[in-house]
Structure 1
Amino acid sequence: MSGRPAQQQEFTRDNLEAVLKRRFFYAPAFDIYGGVSGLYDYGPPGCSLQANIVDAWRKHFVLEEDMLEVDTTMLTPHEVLKTSGHVDKFADWMCKDRVTGEIFRADHLVEEVIESRLKGDKEARGEAAAPEKVDDKKRKKKVKEIKSIKLEDSVKEEYETILAKIDGYSGLELGEIIKQYNIVNPTTGGVVEPPIEFNLMFETAIGPSGQLKGYLRPETAQGQFLNFNKLLESNNAKMPFASASIGKSFRNEISPRAGLLRVREFLMAEIEHYVDPEDKSHPRFDEIKDIKLRFLAKDVQSAGKTDITEVTIGEAVKTGMVDNQTLGYFLARIYLFLIKIGVNPEFLRFRQHMSNEMAHYAADCWDAEIKSSYGWIECVGCADRSAYDLSVHAARTNEKLVVRKSLDEPLVVEAFEIDIEKKKFGPKFRKDASKVENYLTSRTDCEKETMAAELEKNGKVVFKVEGMADEVELDRNFINIEKRTRTEHVREYVPNVIEPSFGIGRILYSVLEHAYWSRAGDEARGVLSFPPLVAPTKVLVVPLSNNEELNPISRGLISQLRKFGIPSKVDDSSASIGKRYARNDELGTPFGITIDFQTIKDQTVTLRERDTTKQVRGSQDAILEAVRAMSFGTASWDDATKDLAVFEAQEE
């Protein structure tokens, strides 16, 4: 594509949302019943756009990287998510208006009020303010009433520091900020209660008895981890390798407001790339090492700043800013994917998780954040999760989730081993004997060393086993723990996992904002400049009139386009050709083929490009070949049409 023209109207979210609503890209679910916050239905163009983004994702990652795709169930037993940590830790902080009962997500409330005050400071100083982010009209009106107040420089600096560190605050810290800076309900001015934790998973019961507790999955990752052994076997036991999954996930968001950016049911695409913890290099790293990315490092955020560092991914890995090659490789591949589907690179950055924000088991974690009228939004997470997930599931189930690698040279190792007097376990623990045995055999070498020291010092060890009411106490009559030397011919290890996780709805909305513009001098003529690769419809066939002689040509063109796998449609309405093209510019259709009476004479047609409205003319075969070359991202407009004649015509 040749790109947008320089002259265009300034972007406004209201204009975009009017187009999305009118053309039914998506809409609130259950609308005629009043709707349910955080739930949306996709219409025909939205479905096609999403399907094309997913198709591009599969080709860019699953096919290009030779990944193993799986489709796992959305219903997940309690025990699985208890083991993974979701039952205890998958939560956000929420607070409630003491009078109205309105619920807020604490960090979003702090962010909204402080941004509003900073905007008011700019207005009071006569400076240009940032775009309004509050999307509810009543809230916007109330927030506007408390603006236009000049802040002290010290307070302004404190506010900017809070915003820079907003993702790293604990619930207690958010409560202190709310109290210290008098953060209140922006609609009513009412006082809010201190933040409390709220688990985001949807709970359900599996089966008619209701005894098997479960949840709708909050991510697709756990299904991949639980199938690790099968996937490793499918890959002929070769490492490294990756699995991938695309499917719906569910999170009971506290206060979803920003359209598709914060919803309760959404499509995820996740990759689990399994690597040797002793070798996190990537064989294709040299292919991407010179790609420049925009980084917001954790030390910058910890200092209360948002300064961007732009360096190559090779340099970022070399200096240690990005932990390892495989993590860096995927950051670059994520960047290339997002640019390919229409994200503006000027509004894309990679933000590193701060130390107090990152999971305890993670080695490093980065979010690909895309800027829209709502601000910077996390759309892709890319984390080195170490060996946490496979380790906890293996410990819970007593099923080894490991890789076995034959050693060229035998290896002599020292490790602690636990000897169990099994004949005595039965009478002592009865039905719980296997639980205690599993607990002991699943301990790490460090844990065994600690237990050995405790046994040596106290003559017994005391520990808690999940599912047992009382603590377990064992002396030397039941167990013996000692360090032993053994020779290993096979190295056994738990792989580390690099996990890129994509929120498809957030990416889709960002592409919509980045693609939308209005023609200069005509705000009503909205255009969605999708790359042809993801455009819902790629070609509009436009007969100049309803003359019956043109109909067979239209049908023939549509038939050929379908054979090529190119989505297309005919607009043979009575509207002017300019109006017909304008309607489809709103839908993001990149190409238009016009059939006129000259076509009857010499079988030539005209090809129009959406953004610049340039037109060329040639034979039907030549035009179709040009469209095919451009539709799947392999050729630009200039390259595909260089042998076609320029056609001058005025759209009406």
Structure 2
Amino acid sequence: MATTKTGEPLDRATLDTILRRRLFYTPSFEIYGGVSGLYDYGPPGCALQANLIDLWRKHFVLEEDMLEVDCTMLTPHEVLKTSGHVDKFSDFMCKDPKTGEIFRADHLVEEVLEARLKGDKEARGLEAGKVEETAEEIKGAEDKKKRKKKVKDIKVVKLSDEKVQEYEEILAKIDNYDGDQLGELILKHEIHNPVTGGPLNPPIAFNLMFGTSIGPSTNMPGFLRPETAQGQFLNFSKLLEFNNLRMPFASASIGKSFRNEISPRQGLLRVREFLMAEIEHFVDPENKAHPNFKDVEHIKLKFLPKDVQEQGKTELIEKTVGEAVQSGMVDNQTLGYFLARIALFLEKIGIDQNKIRFRQHMANEMAHYATDCWDAELQTSYGWIECVGCADRSAYDLTVHAKKTNTDLNVVETLAEPKRYEAWEAEIDKKKFGPKFKKDAKAVEEALLALDQTQLEKFAEELKAGSFKINVPSLGEVELTPELLTITKQQKIEHTRSYVPNVIEPSFGIGRILYALMEHSFWTRPEDALRGVLSFPPVVAPTKALIVPLSSNPVFNPLIAELMKKMRQAGISNRVDASSATIGKRYARNDELGTPFGVTVDFQSVKDNTVTLRDRDTMKQVRGTIDEVVGAIKNVVDGVETWDDIKGRLKVFEGQELEE
């Protein structure tokens, strides 16, 4: 069950009402009926997102000395064909043949089985006399018979212990099923259209990319990018040169991506257009140590490794990052380093540390390019939601793009000491080779160059005996004789080493992080359940301070103007609420917006230039001069001081009751 900051059950409907009413976000094209999976951010949503991105840039781009790029959202078909997205970037969907309604198969299985497990818990609670744990519809029933009738009406059914265990094991492995396996689950467990009860067609793959054409004709098909990564890979050699050929290094990109979600039903968590922040850390494949690993190896994280999931379990393993890397659970230091840095960032923006876990991808769900991948999942009222992925993409992307375009995307480094070794080498007699094979000479030569050392050694022995045969694409087997070439072992000296970098990629879904932050920050006043509060940390809060004049008396105007000017000069975003509502109501409205501080201008302010400073979460107030209060807000926003520090050095204000 999702809970608020105070431990009370989270009422998602109440939170959603506040977020929409206060214009954090709103459905796009709403007066036309809206489009599923598309949303617009209002002023507080924009400010919250901008503050989060600003903190992300400081935490990663600035602190890690990354190279930021901004690449186009339009991508030619050929690029995404090479990367594998055209063939493999798909989810599985089921269609109701009668209504035409579409469902994403894994989500449907997950939702139905979770609903059945919830019904089982309610039925068991009813049997135990725990009426308070049953569904809302059965509350208030006076006797057991009435309760049972209500339970039957809402399909609360007790499951066998074996069935409960089976469902829990399926849910633990839900991300590991392919289309055929999902189809088998749907048939076996009689999963139908949740609304009509009608049967569904077997799951089929659906590519998630938005197709388009670039230019006035259809000669250049393309897509809206599904990720920001490809632009970074294609600019790799230029970034390497910009970085003075130094390795390792990282690039970063923040921008919109697009995925044509099958059936988006989870608000901001599953949308068709979204903001991503992605890092591509290029590293030597033979040395994935990180120079700053010692700074984070002590940090404890909650891990859900793949072997636990494959057993149908979800128990978390708490380890330090150092222990996880040393044991081999996390593949390498650089991957572990970024898992820790991700956790520190999420903590900094206000994510509840009791609602975060790092889940390792299982075999079937692992991306085609990845050798290891962990998701930072955040717990919400929708369950555990992937918000950050951190993958070791190996050398896949650079390799396939280099091969497709015949472009050198290697790193060449000078060795500290020359490397001496022996190697088999084929030397062609071009005077005889060309006339022998004519137009096919190049294809035969390329086949020879593709041979590895073991094959060359074998063919050298066969050549001594008279000839050997190799397979040449488009030609088949070709026989080669001693007059055409020689294969000998040569002494080699290398002064440089050439390699294709591997890539560690942390990928952030900004919209999902924002929504999880909203849930994790939301609570209601104990004395009034209708008074919602969003306790955003001051560093990311949309507005840092509310200026509240005691009344509309014009005598306050000069002080208000002075406060606004000094706050803006200090980089503190602020708003003035001079409405006729009581001060309590004005503060309550801004508690819903997550504004951490309120500054009240009253008649005492006119006399001595002092104002009161109110803390959003505790509603406690202190008093100081305008400069002292502005400085206090600045220090808390910058992380230099806390509210307790401010309360300790400024005079506590208890004179006037400002709350309703």
Q: What is the TM-score when the length of structure 1 is the normalising length? A: 0.90
| CA deviation after TM superposition for structure 1 residue 523, in Å | 2.0
- Alignment partner of 1:475 is 2:474: no
- The aligned counterpart of 2:47 is 48
Match for 1:639 among 638, 645, 660?
A: 645
SS of aligned partner of 1:582: helix
CA distance in 1, matches of 2:134, 2:229: 37
SS of aligned partner of 2:579: coil
Q: Tell whether the 8 Å contact from 1:535 to 1:588 is kept in structure 2 after alignment.
A: yes
Structure 1 residues 18-52: Cα deviation after superposition (integer angstroms, max 9, x where no partner)? 10110111111111111111111111110101111
- The aligned counterpart of 1:396 is 404
User: Mapping of 1:8-23 within 5 angstroms?
Assistant: 10-23=9-22
User: Mapping of 1:488-507 within 5 angstroms?
Assistant: 488-507=494-513
Structure 1 residues 177-231: Cα deviation after superposition (integer angstroms, max 9, x where no partner)? 1111111111111111111111111111111121011111100001001111111
Give the partner amino acid of 1:11.
L
Q: Tell whether the 8 Å contact from 2:5 to 2:521 is kept in structure 1 after alignment.
A: no
Q: Tell whether the 8 Å contact from 2:534 to 2:591 is kept in structure 1 after alignment.
A: yes
Q: Tell whether the 8 Å contact from 1:241 to 1:274 is kept in structure 2 after alignment.
A: yes
SS of aligned partner of 1:125: helix
Structure 1 residues 498-540: Cα deviation after superposition (integer angstroms, max 9, x where no partner)? 0000000000000010111111132221110000011000000
Give the partner amino acid of 2:620.
K
CA distance in 2, matches of 1:574, 1:273: 54
Give the partner amino acid of 2:469.
G
SS of aligned partner of 2:419: strand
CA distance change for structure 1 residues 535 and 473 in 2, over 3 Å: closer, same or farther? Answer: same
CA distance in 1, matches of 2:308, 2:575: 51
Structure 1 residues 440-490: Cα deviation after superposition (integer angstroms, max 9, x where no partner)? 69969599879979x999834243xxxxxxx45473579979686432110
CA distance in 2, matches of 1:78, 1:416: 41
| CA deviation after TM superposition for structure 1 residue 412, in Å | 3.2
User: Mapping of 1:316-465 within 5 angstroms?
Assistant: 316-413=324-421, 428=439, 445=452, 459-463=469-473
CA distance in 2, matches of 1:62, 1:334: 13
- The aligned counterpart of 1:581 is 587
Q: Tell whether the 8 Å contact from 1:73 to 1:223 is kept in structure 2 after alignment.
A: yes
| CA deviation after TM superposition for structure 1 residue 236, in Å | 0.9
CA distance in 2, matches of 1:56, 1:345: 18
SS of aligned partner of 2:648: coil
CA distance in 2, matches of 1:600, 1:168: 67
Q: Tell whether the 8 Å contact from 1:405 to 1:492 is kept in structure 2 after alignment.
A: yes
SS of aligned partner of 1:531: coil
User: Mapping of 1:80-479 within 5 angstroms?
Assistant: 80-126=79-125, 147-413=155-421, 428=439, 445=452, 459-463=469-473, 471-473=474-476, 475=478
Give the partner amino acid of 1:66.
D
Give the partner amino acid of 2:54.
D
- The aligned counterpart of 1:543 is 549
Give the partner amino acid of 1:153.
D
SS of aligned partner of 1:62: helix
User: Mapping of 1:512-523 within 5 angstroms?
Assistant: 512-523=518-529
| CA deviation after TM superposition for structure 1 residue 646, in Å | 0.5
CA distance in 2, matches of 1:192, 1:643: 66
SS of aligned partner of 1:36: coil
CA distance change for structure 1 residues 417 and 574 in 2, over 3 Å: closer, same or farther? Answer: farther
- The aligned counterpart of 1:58 is 57
CA distance change for structure 1 residues 260 and 448 in 2, over 3 Å: closer, same or farther? Answer: farther
Q: What is the TM-score when the length of structure 2 is the normalising length? A: 0.89
| CA deviation after TM superposition for structure 1 residue 355, in Å | 2.3
CA distance change for structure 1 residues 60 and 447 in 2, over 3 Å: closer, same or farther? Answer: farther
- The aligned counterpart of 2:617 is 611
Structure 1 residues 122-164: Cα deviation after superposition (integer angstroms, max 9, x where no partner)? 11111787999xxxxxxxxxx9966311111111111000000
Give the partner amino acid of 2:162.
S
Give the partner amino acid of 1:566.
I
Structure 1 residues 383-408: Cα deviation after superposition (integer angstroms, max 9, x where no partner)? 11111111111111111111111112
- The aligned counterpart of 2:537 is 531
- The aligned counterpart of 1:599 is 605
CA distance in 2, matches of 1:452, 1:400: 29
CA distance change for structure 1 residues 7 and 423 in 2, over 3 Å: closer, same or farther? Answer: closer
SS of aligned partner of 1:532: coil
Give the partner amino acid of 1:271.
I
Give the partner amino acid of 1:487.
I
CA distance change for structure 1 residues 319 and 561 in 2, over 3 Å: closer, same or farther? Answer: same
| CA deviation after TM superposition for structure 1 residue 413, in Å | 4.7
CA distance in 2, matches of 1:107, 1:228: 36
CA distance in 2, matches of 1:211, 1:425: 41
CA distance in 2, matches of 1:298, 1:118: 23
| CA deviation after TM superposition for structure 1 residue 357, in Å | 2.1
- The aligned counterpart of 1:467 is none
SS of aligned partner of 1:101: coil
Structure 1 residues 357-385: Cα deviation after superposition (integer angstroms, max 9, x where no partner)? 22354221100000000000000000111
SS of aligned partner of 2:261: coil
Bigger CA drift: 485-494 or 552-561?
485-494
CA distance change for structure 1 residues 417 and 261 in 2, over 3 Å: closer, same or farther? Answer: farther
Structure 1 residues 251-309: Cα deviation after superposition (integer angstroms, max 9, x where no partner)? 11111110111111100000000111111111111111111100001110000000001
Q: Count matched residues.
A: 627
Q: Tell whether the 8 Å contact from 1:247 to 1:269 is kept in structure 2 after alignment.
A: yes
CA distance change for structure 1 residues 209 and 377 in 2, over 3 Å: closer, same or farther? Answer: same
CA distance change for structure 1 residues 30 and 12 in 2, over 3 Å: closer, same or farther? Answer: same
Match for 1:571 among 566, 570, 577?
A: 577
- The aligned counterpart of 2:69 is 70
CA distance change for structure 1 residues 629 and 109 in 2, over 3 Å: closer, same or farther? Answer: same
CA distance in 1, matches of 2:384, 2:542: 26
CA distance in 2, matches of 1:203, 1:333: 35
Structure 1 residues 304-324: Cα deviation after superposition (integer angstroms, max 9, x where no partner)? 000001111111111111111
CA distance in 2, matches of 1:357, 1:181: 22
CA distance in 1, matches of 2:188, 2:256: 40
Give the partner amino acid of 1:225.
F
Note the residue ranges of structure 2 that are not aligned, 5 or more in a row: 137-150
SS of aligned partner of 1:527: strand
| CA deviation after TM superposition for structure 1 residue 555, in Å | 0.6
CA distance in 1, matches of 2:108, 2:378: 21
| CA deviation after TM superposition for structure 1 residue 234, in Å | 1.0
Q: Tell whether the 8 Å contact from 1:386 to 1:497 is kept in structure 2 after alignment.
A: yes
Q: Tell whether the 8 Å contact from 1:395 to 1:442 is kept in structure 2 after alignment.
A: no
Give the partner amino acid of 2:405.
T
- The aligned counterpart of 2:561 is 555
Note the residue ranges of structure 1 that are not aligned, 5 or more in a row: 133-142, 464-470
CA distance in 2, matches of 1:64, 1:522: 43
| CA deviation after TM superposition for structure 1 residue 10, in Å | 3.6
Q: Which has the larger radius of gyration?
A: 2
SS of aligned partner of 1:209: coil
CA distance in 1, matches of 2:514, 2:576: 26
Match for 1:623 among 625, 629, 645?
A: 629
